[in-house]
Chains A and B, each alone.
Chain A
Amino acid sequence: MGRNAVLLGVFAVLGTALLAFTEASTRQRIADNEREALLRTIHVLIPPTSHDNDLFRDTEEVREPLLLGTRDPMTAYRARKDGKPVAVILTPVAPDGYNGSIRLLVAIRYDGTLAGVRVLSQRETPGLGDGIEADRSPWIQQFAGKSLRNPNEVGWGVRRDGGQFDQLTGATITPRAVVKAVHRALKFYADRREQLFEPAHPTAPPPFAKETPHA
């Protein structure tokens, strides 16, 4: 009996050791991957030449459950050139997708126009709702250049609801959720623009894992 317990304990320790070792040796790389993937998406919307700051070091924590769709604090990334604000990147959540939450990336230029929108994660129906992904259909492109006043309050909806945005063939709920979430993000930006572009806090925590040199 006692021997079995010890043996189980030994295997638990060995298993934990394997995981601890793997986690430690991949942590940095996984964090880098996530950053890189996010940066690639951001740079599709905001050209790398349009800003000269490090987006991941110039961030602001914001929290606004009603407009951003999540209770968790969210990192707003600021793009600046020569110290002047260029754009802010938010990652609001559309909580009312057909199949759960949809996480968006919304890039808003300083003047309040949309540089563009992309989907970070979604679980919508393959072949129907997943048309909101940029590599599945051009649907998401129609946000570029829009702003809070263009179109007006009524226009910020899908056509079925009398708005100006196309829905997807066979899917209305997904596009409706995305359009609304983008609209709310724009409202949030209008409310908080000056705060969003406040100079970076020197003590602000970096968004992902700390940048330590590879061992």
Chain B
Amino acid sequence: MWDYTDKVREHFLNPRNVGEIKDADAVGEVGSLACGDALKLYLKLDEGKERIVDAKFQTFGCASAIASSSALTEMIKGKTLDEALGISNQDIAEFLGGLPEEKMHCSVMGQEALEVAIAKYKGAAVPVHGHDHEHVEMEGEVVCKCFGITDQFLKKVIASNKLHTAEQVTHFTKAGGGCGGCIPRIKELIAEVMGDQPKEEHKKPAKLTNLRKMQLIQDVLEKEVRPLLWADGGDLELIDINGNTVQIAFRKACAGCVSSGHTAKFVEQKLREYVADDLMVEEVEG
């Protein structure tokens, strides 16, 4: 069972502002039946068309999607459009006393619907995300085909929530949660976005004895590298460790693969990330 806060539970059982506003000034719709959740947000503005005087929602989704929608409408009532745009998905989650990480995409959906509603009202380009069913022109490259999510939207969520792993990106946006085929691309996007920002380093031991280093190298190959190769039908074997040179031989699909050079680089990158900066990977026949 999900560990929902009392506030999530309360907003789910007694959601505020359910329904539609017939003469709404702005409407934002995101999600779809296929995705498993969807939100339609209605905004009514004051006479000066500056301040949100009423907000209502219709949501198809789980308890946290309903609670996030309810929270969002409560948070934006009385705010100016600019103030409302300042609300982030973290703010929605915080309002609810937190959401399980697997459910963070519900708060992202709320923030997205708000952004779409306001952009459409202002006649601006509708912000690029993926899975709306308004059929707006989507900019950017579709990364996750299962949920129809673009790179631009992913980059935004990665940056604003400081996401470091593909799993987190899935929890926040759903991307990668279907067939999983786009996970390598998501990892690239994380590297691209977070590469510019100070990222949490894996705790690399400052000084390693030879024995510890060898153990760590083996460990990283077993846990971080080989499972990824298996997924593509490949494999590798550790042949020897000579000083800072790690000798590996590719097996199965990786053996003789034209891009094994890239794979070797990838292995090196992983080892440098987890073990020591000066490691080099050498491909050998073995």
Tell me, yes or no, whether A binds B.
no
Name A residues whose Cβ lies closer than 8 Å to a Cβ of B: none
